[in-house]
Each structure stands twice: as C-alpha cells, then as structure tokens.
Structure 1
Amino acid sequence: MAGVESWGEESRVKPTVKIAASVSVIALVLVACGSRVVPLSQGQLLPGQTVVPTVGPSGTLGPSTGPSVGGPAAGPSAAATVPPGIVNAACKAKSSPAPGVTATTIKLGLVAALTGPLPGQFDSAVEASDSFFHAVNDAGGICGRKVQLLIRDDNGNGQTDKEVATKLVTEDHIFAFVGSVSAPDDSGIAQVSKQYKVPDIGFPLSWARAENPYAYGAPGQLQRKTIGLNANGSGYLDKLHNIKQIAIFWLKESEVSILEAYGFESAIEQQTNGAMKICHEQPSGVLDSNYTNYVVAMKGDCDPRNGNIAVYTTMENNSNIKLAKAMRDQGFQPTVFAPTFSSYLPSFITDAGGSTEGAYIPMPQVPLERLTDTPQSQWTPGTFELQRYINALNRYHPNHHPPGSFGAPGWGEAGLFATAAAKCGDALTRACLFNQLNTMGPYSANGFIVPTTPSDHHIYTADLIVQVRNGKFVEIQPNNRSGPPGGPDFWDKSVLVDWQKYMCAHQNQFPNMSAKKALLTEC
C-alpha cells in the first residue's frame, strides 16, 4: 500500500477514516505511564477533593479538546441508553445494612490520578464511568437506587491514594470502588480494599492491586506469571511476516512493564519452540529524550541479513513515538513495529512526523473507527455498545476529553458493577455483590471489550489489530468473526500460559537471565 514503507501490511483489511486530531484517544496502558494531555482540572484539584458526583447535574470534568464524536445518532442530543439487564422498574429497593446503600442511593468511590506526574492520562476513564452511571440514574437506577459516584484525585501518589481511599471508606462510607485507575502507584487502594473487604472494580496498574482478592477488572487483570501465548498480536504478526528476530523495549521505572516485556519474550519463544532470536533488549526511562543511542545499539545487534525483525514495546505512547522517530532517523526499518495499545492515540500519528506509518496496535476493544467506517447494518453488538458509550459521553459530558482506550475499561467497569448489583435486586450487600461477581460468566460489556470471567482475575486472551496506514488507523479484519463467545470481533485468540515457568525451564533461549532471575519466582 502506498505510504507504508517501514512495516508490512496485512492482505485483508477494511478502509477507515482518520480520527480527527482534535478527537484524540487516551491510551490504555499496560504499564505505569502517561501521555501529556490536558489535565482534568488544570491542576486546581486538591488531594481528596470531590470532582463531580454523579447524583445531581452533570458537570464538566475539564476543557473540551474537540467536538462530539461518534457515528450515526451521536452528538450532544443523542439519546443515552442503558445496557439491558440493569434497570428493572418492577424492583423496589428497601433499606439495606450495607455501607453506602439506602433505599434510594448507592454510594460509590472512584480514585484516579487526575493531577500529578501523569496529568490527563485517566480523564477519559473517569468520564466514561460517570457517564454510565448518569445514564443508569436517568433510566431509573439500579432497583430504583440512584448511583452517587464520589471522585477523588490522588495525584498519582501511593500514599495519597491510600489516604483518599481510606476516607472514602471510613468517612464517606462508600459501598464499593468502581472505575479507579491511577499511576505510577495505585497500591494504596489495594491496602484499603483488603483491610475493609471493599469491592474494587477498576483497572489495576500495580501488582499489589492486581493481586488483591477483592479486585476485579474489565477486561481482566494483569498477573505476574501468566500471559496470552499470542501476546500483543505477536503470534499472528510474526507468522504473517516470517519474523526471525525480535527486539523489545520496556520502561525501567515500572516492574509491571519489565515483567510484561519478559512475558512477551517467553510467549514468543514458546510459540516458535525456541526458534526466535531475541536480538536486542532495551530498558528505557519515561523521561529519556534521545533514543538515538538505543537504536544504534539495536542496529548493531539485529542484522536484517539474519531475517525479518519485529520490535515490540511495553512503553507508553510518548516513548513509542520517540523510538519510532529514532528508528526513522537512523534508517532502521523493522518489518513489524508493534507497541501496546497505549499508543492507540491520534498523537501516535500526528506527533510522529510519519515515522509510525505501518505500525501495528493490538487492542482489546472495538475501535472508534467502526462508528464511521462501517454501515450500521453491519454493526456487531460490540459496535452498538461503543455507540451507547459515545452517546452517553456526549450527553453527560459535552465538553469531554478525548474518548479512548482508558474510556473503554471505564465504561466496562461501571457496567460490570451495575450488572452484578442489579442481580442482587433489593438485597444489595457486599456479600451478594461478591457472590455475583464470583459466579458470573464471561463479561464483555456486550462485546465492546474482550470477554473475561471476573472470578478468574486474569488478563484477556484475545484482541483485534489496527495498523497505521496513510496517516490513519485502519482495522485489520479477516472478517471471520471467530472471536470467543460474547466477543466475536476479537479474532486474534490466545491461551494463557505460565511464561515464568517456560523461561526458567529454557534459560538458554533468553539473554541476560542472571538479571531476569531477580524478578522471577520460578527459577
């Protein structure tokens, strides 16, 4: 395809339109990271301050960065509907002994890094969860109870995270945490959730929170030892492009990023029975500004004469852009460049000066492009749920921040809570909520995100893939709709494997094992 010089293209694709630069997409990060976007309240929030309670008039969480987005019927006046199975007009709530639950309200808490070192990274998640509950309230509530969502800022600080989470439980008497997402350190909420046995349905970005038995995620949760065998689309992409060598980059500040990178290596070696050469490993820093030296080193280690090269990363978006620019400037053209979906952002295209052309991004959500590229007659259930999310966002937060990958989990987490709570009916207690979460089958927000079973506490094992083509995100779509039950769009399926066990049993396949062992528990 014209304009794709550096990285290969898949043979069966569907055309797309470019997401306007003003309608950016916040990154969903598998590591503690952040992209530099407009902060939610321009730094005016104080630690522990409430932002916008869901009960009452909808407020603006920050300055608008673009127009309303979406496809048919989207816009500020579009109707905001609620997914089926949540609102039951026949259900009449009674008073409850559960904290935060009355005959008329359910009080929830959300803790996010709205200011601090990663300003603006999580605004879309907060707006998504808040919009979901606004729509539920307008439709009649959960068994007639209106949701009150108390939003707190932790400045991305672990101690503040613990302090505001503690106050939400001990002073505000919330029923559960829903939609919380913070970095670099969200371990505080994990400590509070465990101490008080409070449900925490959110997106964990630390091991302490991911491994909290009272925590649940959508889509799933990261784990230290398990990863999908086709991690980050690698199984599909490596086979498609006959990859023989891989280089991998990670963030040295984040143990999650480091272990995810090791997990990628282990999964890829397991896919290929040890035939893949790991030609270069590169830790990098969030504040590193010059990737030239990294690329020069990679060029020395990864010789194209030894076969096609793939570059995978577990870095955040700004680092991925710097890497892409350095590879272009140094004339290093891997066959595949595939960051995680932290880079599903227009800035990955607009700020990269063409250097990200051809890059692949595997994703666990239906992409926004579906709303404008696909006739409504061909929409899947997940596309209709995407439209429901965008309609609610435009209605309740007309000056919203760019909707994006953190927004999808934020919507899904709110939906997961509401689905479980609705099944408890008028007898909503924490015990009932835990029971519903622990006995629920795969949850996918009606196909919008990859299905995962809440009680498994595992990360998702399927995705779909987009590629940057001619300055646009284009969905690579084999059109076989072969995804798992409840998520047919996510055709790139995988299975969970214990990557640490494989790595420790095949140490000769991996470089720098002496350093790796310091973080591994199975060697």
Structure 2
Amino acid sequence: MAAALVLVAGACSSSRSDEDPGGGDSTTGASADLPTDTFGDIESPCGAGDASGATEQGVTDDSIAIGYGDDSGYANAPGLNEEMGDAMDAMIEWCNGLGGINGRQIVGHRYDAALDNAAQVIVEACNQDFMLVGQGFAGDENMEADRVDCQLVSVPGFNLSAAAVNAPMRYAPVPFPVDLLSVARAELTLQTYPDATSYDFVGHDSSFVQVAEKRTAAVLESVGAEQAGCGVVLKSAGGDNYRALVQRYKDCGTTVLFDQGTPTPATFSFLDAMRVEGYEPTILTDATWYADSVLSANVDGLTEGITITMQFQPFENADAVPAVADYLSVMDQGDYTTGLLGMQSASAFLLWATAAKACGSDLTRQCMVNELSTVTSWTGAGLHAESNPAENEPPACALIVAVKGGTYEQVAPASQGEFYCADSSLETPKSSWGVDLNEDRIATTYLTDDVITPEG
C-alpha cells in the first residue's frame, strides 16, 4: 500500500532509480561536468555574495538551515521516496560548492518520517529550520497543524493529504490541488489512442488508487471518454484467478485499460495471464510505471508498448532537455538515487533558492512568501511542464512515453522533449475535495489569523 500512497501526490509521482548513480564518494565544489552559471534554462540561484544578518530562525550571517526528507525508513517499504532526500542532499552539495545563496551556506536537516512519524519530524523542524524544502512525507496530514502553527513556510516536493495540498504558506513546484485537474493527459491520450473513448481500469483494492481512478474517470469523461465498467479489481496481496479476470475483460469487450496502480509482481502476473489468454489491450498508465522494474519485466515483450503519461521529462530526454542533463550530473556527485520524485525535489529546491536569492540580506519568511507568491509560471528550469505555484494550479501539459525494449521512448508529442498543452483545467466537484476551501482556495482545516500572507 505504501507505494500506492505516492500515486495520489501527482501525475509525476514515480520512482525510477539507477543501479549505480554515483559510483564514488561525495565531493564538494563544482566540477567541470556540473552546472555553474545556469541550471537548465534559468540562471543559477547559487553563488557567492555578501548577504548578512540573523534575520529569522535558521538564518545567520553565513548559513541557512532548511528541513527536508522522505519516508525511507518505513519498515514495509524500505527506501520509500528516498530519491527525494537524496536529491536535496545533492542539490545542497552543488549549491554550496558554488557559494551557497548570496554567500550563505545551506545547512540541511534531513528527516525520515518513515510514513508514520511526520508529527515527530515537524516538532524538530519547527524548532530549528527556516523553511521546509523539497520534502515528501506521505503522512503529512499528521504534521500540518503544527507546521501552520509555527509558521514554517513550505516549498514541498509533494504533499498528499487534502489539508496539505491546498494549505496556507505552501508553494509547490508541481501543484496537485483538490479542486483542479489538468485535462492535458486525457486530451493527448485520446488524440494518440482514439480507441480510449471506451476504456476501463485495471481496478485495485487500495483506497488511494481508487481515489486516483475516480479523478481520472472524471477528466476522461470531460473529454468524451466512457468507462466500460467491467468490474475487475485486483487484490493487492495477490491470489486472484487472473485468467478468470482476463476473461471478464474479454467478455466486456474493452480494448483499452488504464492502470492507476504501481507495477508489482502481482501486476506482472496479471499481464502474463493476459498474454496466455490472447488478450492484448492497449495499457495506459501514470508515471508510477516509469520504473526500472517495468523494463526488467519486459521479457518476451511482457511490458512492451505500455505507455506512461508524464508531466516531467524522462531521463531519456537528457540530450534534448538541458535541465534533465543538469539534474543527472548533480546527482552523479555521489551515491545518490535518481527518480522522478527526486526531480520534483530538485525543482522545489530551485524554486526556493531563486526566491531566497531575491530576498538577499532580508531573508525572512515574509520575504519568501512575498517572492513565491509572484511565481505564476514555473518549469523547474525545464524539468517539467509549466505550472503555477503562486496560485496552486497544476501543469496544463503532458507527454507520453512507451516501453521500447529496455528503455522508454517519447511517443507523443512526436518531437522529443516537447509537451502537449491543454487550454484549461477541470474543476472537480466539492464532494471529492475532502476539505473546505475559502475564497482564495486555501484549506480552512488548520487556517489561522497568524499565517504569513503576501504583503501588498
């Protein structure tokens, strides 16, 4: 279940790691292979300077303390989201090697919430950190009340709970609010696979996956697609009669299946049953399927042709997208795990660092809120589709990759590195929100009169 939790955080919530991303000890300072003056298509926010003053908790003349982390200590899924903490470690190392932020070195406090310990993490962070940056804690519902109470401004890698994704004092590089959905994925899917106007899900018994299925069904319905309703639900613990389930799909007549779950051995067994029964539907998935396990399972074509819709650039586009090459080079400083969630954390770091640089010596939480509230267009230097952190609006663009042998290839749009963009987002029904929002689309769950709001 833990892996499925991350799915709800966004369309880009996936983990794909290199077997040997670093191949050596961590080093300090920038090497010739690392980005220096720029990162992707933006000016580097890191470098020397003369900023000074102990302006806020965690800020001194020569340092800035930030908190971040993951759930890598979760016993049932060791290493859960560890690429997020690793990305922050690597980005801090890179930035400090260039001189820090206006000359202040970044002091990183990495936390392990281990899925169930977010409440303990926030107590530590509230007592020592300037801000939270690039974190991804699946149990963030348990920390939101304390985070808001101690005015700890956040630029997260992802949030998961309904109260957190529309929370105050929060500026996500890739927003995933409860009240808006991008229709780009649905439009691009139907353009690329016209048969998807009639589809069904590879159902899962996880409540988190079922939420994702409902949101996907809503956005597909908005562009004219209809769910067949075959009624197949896979047990997360396995033990299904897969051949019988495949026959239900065949009897139902659907030739397009969406899988909103994560690739597991049980899922691969189901794919094998499809092959044995001669059932060959088009299988469409989200970025959780952008994983090494999917490529490793592609024996005798088991996962060949499975498509993944993404709002981040795949690693395979590094030659066409400088930001991806820069991310990979930064991660190559040490024995760090790479992944799409890591790219989310890298984007969060760049967003935070850009605002922190603009604040100069006046590095306060108020200044950061002022700066972040003006960022209405953000691509993480080219790592992902354009989003609107200031107004908490999701990316309006997507691309599709497919399994081709032992790698992934972009299939839509046809030009490598390009996104398809929709004109609008879908407003979701209030019944699906799980929280009440005020007129500014801020969750009222933990909202107080003391939250830091933009000046002016």
Flag whether TM exceeds 0.5 (same fold): yes
Deviating above 6 A after TM superposition, structure 1's stretches of 4 or more consecutive aligned residues are 32-38, 517-522
**Aligned pair in 2 of structure 1 residues 393, 239: CA closer, same or farther (>3 Å)?**
closer
**Aligned pair in 2 of structure 1 residues 392, 28: CA closer, same or farther (>3 Å)?**
farther
Kept in 2, the 8 Å contact 1:96–1:427? The answer is: no
Per mean C-alpha deviation after superposition, the further-off stretch among 356-365 and 191-200 is 191-200
- The one-letter code sitting in structure 1 at the alignment partner of 2:253 is D
Q: Using the TM superposition, give the Cα deviation of residue 130 of structure 1 relative to its aligned residue in structure 2, in angstroms.
A: 1.4
- The one-letter code sitting in structure 2 at the alignment partner of 1:30 is L
Answer yes or no: is 1:234 the counterpart of 2:186.
yes
Kept in 1, the 8 Å contact 2:162–2:434? The answer is: no
Counterpart position of 1:93 = 51
Unpaired runs of at least 5, structure 1:
1-25, 39-63, 70-75, 482-487, 505-516
> Which residue, 325, 330, 344 being the options, matches 1:409?
344
Kept in 2, the 8 Å contact 1:339–1:361? The answer is: yes
Counterpart position of 1:21 = none
Kept in 1, the 8 Å contact 2:203–2:234? The answer is: yes
Q: Using the TM superposition, give the Cα deviation of residue 142 of structure 1 relative to its aligned residue in structure 2, in angstroms.
A: 0.6
User: Which secondary structure does the structure 2 equivalent of 1:454 belong to?
Assistant: coil
Separation of aligned partners in 2, 1:67 and 1:518? 39
Answer yes or no: is 1:303 the counterpart of 2:256.
no
Counterpart position of 2:110 = 151
- The one-letter code sitting in structure 1 at the alignment partner of 2:287 is F
Task: Give me the TM-score of the superposition, normalised by structure 1.
Answer: 0.72
> Which residue, 90, 96, 118 being the options, matches 1:161?
118
Q: Using the TM superposition, give the Cα deviation of residue 299 of structure 1 relative to its aligned residue in structure 2, in angstroms.
A: 1.4
Q: Using the TM superposition, give the Cα deviation of residue 114 of structure 1 relative to its aligned residue in structure 2, in angstroms.
A: 1.0
Counterpart position of 1:207 = 162
Kept in 2, the 8 Å contact 1:99–1:174? The answer is: yes
Task: Give me the TM-score of the superposition, normalised by structure 2.
Answer: 0.82
Separation of aligned partners in 2, 1:226 and 1:36? 24
**Aligned pair in 2 of structure 1 residues 392, 277: CA closer, same or farther (>3 Å)?**
closer
Answer yes or no: is 1:324 the counterpart of 2:257.
no
Question: Residues 208-239 of structure 1, C-alpha deviation per residue, up to 9 Å, x if partnerless?
Answer: 3212222222222x222321123xx3322323
Question: Residues 29-84 of structure 1, C-alpha deviation per residue, up to 9 Å, x if partnerless?
Answer: 4337999999xxxxxxxxxxxxxxxxxxxxxxxxx832559xxxxxx965322432
**Aligned pair in 2 of structure 1 residues 282, 148: CA closer, same or farther (>3 Å)?**
farther
Kept in 2, the 8 Å contact 1:291–1:326? The answer is: no
Unpaired runs of at least 5, structure 2:
24-29, 438-456
**Aligned pair in 2 of structure 1 residues 348, 434: CA closer, same or farther (>3 Å)?**
same
Counterpart position of 2:302 = 355
Kept in 2, the 8 Å contact 1:31–1:315? The answer is: no
Separation of aligned partners in 1, 2:140 and 2:375? 26
Counterpart position of 1:496 = 425
Separation of aligned partners in 1, 2:362 and 2:4? 37
**Aligned pair in 2 of structure 1 residues 136, 268: CA closer, same or farther (>3 Å)?**
same
Answer yes or no: is 1:138 the counterpart of 2:92.
no
Kept in 1, the 8 Å contact 2:234–2:240? The answer is: no
Q: Using the TM superposition, give the Cα deviation of residue 454 of structure 1 relative to its aligned residue in structure 2, in angstroms.
A: 0.9
Separation of aligned partners in 1, 2:131 and 2:267? 35
- The one-letter code sitting in structure 2 at the alignment partner of 1:343 is W
Alignment of 1:19-168 (within 5 A): 29-31=6-8, 65-66=19-20, 68=22, 78-82=32-36, 83=39, 84-87=43-46, 89=48, 91-116=49-74, 117-157=76-116, 160-168=117-125
> Which residue, 255, 258, 263 being the options, matches 1:312?
258
User: Which secondary structure does the structure 1 equivalent of 2:52 belong to?
Assistant: coil
User: Which secondary structure does the structure 2 equivalent of 1:450 belong to?
Assistant: coil
Question: Residues 376-404 of structure 1, C-alpha deviation per residue, up to 9 Å, x if partnerless?
Answer: xxx3xxx2111111111111x2x222x12
**Aligned pair in 2 of structure 1 residues 283, 68: CA closer, same or farther (>3 Å)?**
same
Q: Using the TM superposition, give the Cα deviation of residue 153 of structure 1 relative to its aligned residue in structure 2, in angstroms.
A: 1.0
Q: Using the TM superposition, give the Cα deviation of residue 435 of structure 1 relative to its aligned residue in structure 2, in angstroms.
A: 0.9
Aligned residues: 417
